[in-house]
């Protein structure tokens, strides 16, 4: 009887396992092979994807309509690449900060050739960390505060050149000249005029070809840009030779920091690495700063009550400095609360950097969706900056919204994480100083009533905001 009972138990156990086995196998198989799905969205036409839709309308409309239809994460295919676009602060932080190692910076090869493959924003890892540290040190508050007299000199020169009863200037183009000159000062210190003019001439050619079709046809804008870029490299090499020969290698500017750098093995940077990073900083600084300054001109012009508040704040400083006879101090630039909020709101409204490109280096799962290896990933800063959940009535220009700090990861005009812009403090200082001299000594009028936005590639007011400038009557009397 005991043997029969044992055999009966074994049979029951066997039959039970036999019944459960297919279920266990199916469950195990589902665990092993079920992958997260791709985000919702449309990939458009074969090869060209949705690039025509992106460029045939305001890009903001394209991104906003996608978000409204698909939610905070969606897929598309633009500029020849499959992409995943992200529109939430949490997603931006995931890609740029907490899981940045899973996403590498990526740029089209045509643009990389014009800037230079050794520029820091093309890299990750130790090289990026070391070069970024050099750039941050050369653009730290302790360093840029010493540039205030040079920035003031440049601001006054620019404003004087804009003044005329008849002359209508393209505000954006003039702001680009100003931003370029400040970039030269922060990179090289006081540079010989001959070198400055050569750099400016060739940089303008590179700038025109940067967003052109990348063809090698003789005479094409991109071909000219490649040649000009080669000349810039040669000019920078000449400057390096002069600095070394004259032993002017003090770490007062970025070039000095780059020339003096040695890694843990005692290796110095090659001249081509130095040139690539110098050109990279010029590219990063010029159009972005110029675009924001152009928008500030428009926003202040369109809101006379706000302009008067800024003017009152700046006039108090101007009078304390004996009507501009005493230079601005670092402390004064840190105590311009109304003006500073205008700058922050301009950065939010304009969202010059609308998005950034990354590339997934492995398959990544985010909120149940798959971001495949090799796909481009685009955190959309503009969508976050214009989300009414974070900024009520986002289309209204309202500096008072910055009386309280924005919620974390909802304000990223300079990016976020290890690849955020290291020159953001210098950019803000330039804006504060220019606004100070502009509103205390000059007045301006926007020419024409046609409003709109053009992309070149950053958003700027239509036609570059044509404007006329005059000296204030009081300033004119003092000069007279």
Domain annotation for the chain: domains and CATH numbers: 35-113+352-385 (3.30.43.20)
Nearest to 162 by CA among 178, 149, 150: 178
Q: How open is the CA angle 346-347-349, to the nearest 5 degrees? A: 60
**Contact of 429 with 263, CB cutoff 8 Å:** no
Angle of helix 148-162 relative to helix 171-188, nearest 10 degrees, comes to 150
DSSP-derived letter for residue 262 is: B
**Contact of 408 with 123, CB cutoff 8 Å:** no
The whole-chain average pLDDT of the chain stands at 86
Task: Return the C-alpha torsion angle 420, 426, 432, 437, nearest 10.
Answer: -150
pLDDT digits (tens, 9 = 90+) for 405-428: 999 999 999 988 888 888 899 999
pLDDT surpasses 50 at 280: yes
Residue 227: pLDDT band with limits 50, 70, 90: very high
**Contact of 132 with 120, CB cutoff 8 Å:** yes
First to last CA, the chain: 126
* Both tokens assigned to 401: 């919204």
Least confident of 1-5, 47-51, 330-334, 337-341: 1-5
Task: Return the C-alpha torsion angle 275, 278, 284, 290, nearest 10.
Answer: -120
**Contact of 136 with 422, CB cutoff 8 Å:** yes
pLDDT surpasses 80 at 243: no
Residues 6+ apart with CB under 8 A from 41: 66, 70, 74, 75, 76, 85
Q: What sign does the CA torsion over 399, 403, 406, 407 have? A: negative
pLDDT surpasses 90 at 235: yes
Residue 421 counted as an annotated binding residue? yes
Identify the pLDDT of residue 30: 43
Residue 479: pLDDT band with limits 50, 70, 90: very low
Least confident of 182-186, 246-250, 314-318, 343-347: 246-250
Identify the pLDDT of residue 406: 94
Rounded percentage of the chain residues whose pLDDT exceeds 70: 89
- Helix H or strand E encompassing 446: strand 442-446
- When pLDDT is averaged across residues 40-63 and rounded to a whole number, the result is 81
What are the CA-CA distances from residue 469 to residues 162, 180, 228, 466 (Å)? 6, 21, 33, 10
Identify the pLDDT of residue 24: 41
**Contact of 440 with 272, CB cutoff 8 Å:** no
- When pLDDT is averaged across residues 68-77 and rounded to a whole number, the result is 93
Least confident of 12-21, 76-85, 227-236: 12-21
pLDDT surpasses 60 at 27: no
Identify the pLDDT of residue 216: 84
Identify the pLDDT of residue 247: 56
Residue 138: pLDDT band with limits 50, 70, 90: confident
**Contact of 123 with 104, CB cutoff 8 Å:** no
| HSE-up (13 A, CA, CB side) for residue 377 | 32
- When pLDDT is averaged across residues 436-452 and rounded to a whole number, the result is 90
Identify the pLDDT of residue 250: 58
pLDDT surpasses 60 at 9: no
Identify the pLDDT of residue 349: 94
> Does residue 457 have a cis bond before it (omega within 30 degrees)?
yes
Nearest to 261 by CA among 235, 286, 240: 240
Nearest to 331 by CA among 321, 323, 341: 321
Identify the pLDDT of residue 19: 43
pLDDT surpasses 80 at 478: no
- Helix H or strand E encompassing 408: none
**Contact of 360 with 351, CB cutoff 8 Å:** no
- When pLDDT is averaged across residues 197-216 and rounded to a whole number, the result is 87
Cβ neighbours of 177 (radius 10 Å): 16
Q: Which residues pair with 366 in a beta bridge?
A: 369
Q: What are phi and psi of 318, to 5 degrees?
A: -60, -45
234 SS3 class: helix
* Both tokens assigned to 252: 């007062």
Distance CA 250, CA 240 (A): 13
* Both tokens assigned to 60: 């903001």
**Contact of 324 with 440, CB cutoff 8 Å:** yes
What is the arrangement of strands in the sheet containing 73-78, beginning at the earlier edge strand? 73-78, 81-86, 376-379, 358-360, 103-105
Residue predicted with more confidence, 455 or 435 = 435
* Both tokens assigned to 149: 């007299």
DSSP-derived letter for residue 45 is: B
Q: What are phi and psi of 316, to 5 degrees?
A: -60, -40
Q: What are phi and psi of 47, to 5 degrees?
A: 70, -60
pTM value is 0.86
């Amino acid at each position: 009887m005991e043997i029969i009972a044992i055999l009966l138990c074994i049979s029951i156990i066997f039959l039970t396992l036999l019944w459960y086995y297919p279920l266990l196998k199916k469950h195990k198989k589902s665990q092993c092979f079920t992958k997260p799905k791709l985000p919702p969205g449309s990939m458009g036409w074969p090869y060209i994807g949705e690039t025509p839709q992106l460029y045939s309308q305001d890009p903001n409309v394209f991104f906003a309509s996608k978000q409204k239809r698909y939610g905070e994460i969606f897929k598309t295919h633009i500029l020849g690449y499959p992409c995943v676009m992200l529109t939430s602060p949490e997603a931006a932080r995931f890609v740029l900060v907490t899981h940045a190692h899973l996403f590498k910076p990526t740029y089209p090869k045509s643009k990389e050739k014009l800037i230079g493959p050794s520029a820091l924003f093309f890299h990750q890892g130790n090289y990026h960390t070391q070069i970024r540290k050099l750039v941050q040190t050369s653009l730290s508050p302790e360093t840029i505060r010493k540039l205030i007299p040079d920035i003031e000199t440049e601001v006054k020169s620019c404003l004087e050149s804009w003044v005329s009863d008849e002359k209508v200037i393209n505000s954006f183009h003039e702001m680009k000249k100003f931003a370029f000159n400040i970039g030269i000062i922060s990179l090289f210190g006081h540079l010989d005029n001959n070198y400055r003019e050569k750099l400016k001439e060739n940089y303008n050619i590179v700038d025109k070809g940067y967003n052109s079709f990348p063809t090698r046809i003789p005479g094409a804008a991109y071909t000219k840009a490649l040649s000009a870029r080669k000349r810039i490299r040669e000019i920078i090499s000449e400057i390096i030779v002069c600095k070394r020969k004259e032993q002017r290698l003090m770490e007062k500017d970025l070039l000095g920091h780059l020339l003096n750098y040695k890694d843990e093995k005692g290796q110095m940077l090659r001249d081509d690495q130095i040139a690539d990073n110098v050109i990279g900083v010029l590219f990063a600084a010029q159009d972005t700063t110029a675009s924001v300054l152009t928008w500030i001109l428009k926003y202040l012009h369109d809101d006379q009550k706000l302009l008067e508040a800024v003017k009152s704040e700046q006039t108090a400083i101007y009078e304390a400095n004996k009507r501009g006879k005493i230079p601005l101090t670092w402390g004064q630039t840190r105590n311009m609360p109304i003006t500073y909020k205008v700058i922050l709101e301009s950065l939010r409204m304009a969202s010059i950097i609308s998005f950034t490109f990354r590339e997934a280096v492995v398959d990544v799962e985010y909120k149940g969706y798959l971001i495949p290896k090799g796909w481009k990933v685009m955190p959309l800063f503009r969508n976050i900056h214009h989300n009414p959940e974070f900024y009520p009535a986002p289309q209204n220009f309202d500096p008072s919204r910055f009386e309280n700090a924005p919620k974390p990861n909802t304000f990223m005009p300079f990016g976020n994480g290890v690849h955020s812009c290291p020159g953001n403090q210098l950019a803000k200082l330039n804006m504060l100083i220019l606004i100070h001299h502009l509103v205390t000594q000059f007045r301006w009028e926007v020419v024409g009533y046609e409003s709109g936005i053009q992309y070149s590639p950053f958003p700027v007011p239509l036609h570059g905001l044509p404007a006329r400038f005059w000296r204030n009557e009081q300033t004119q009397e003092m000069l007279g």
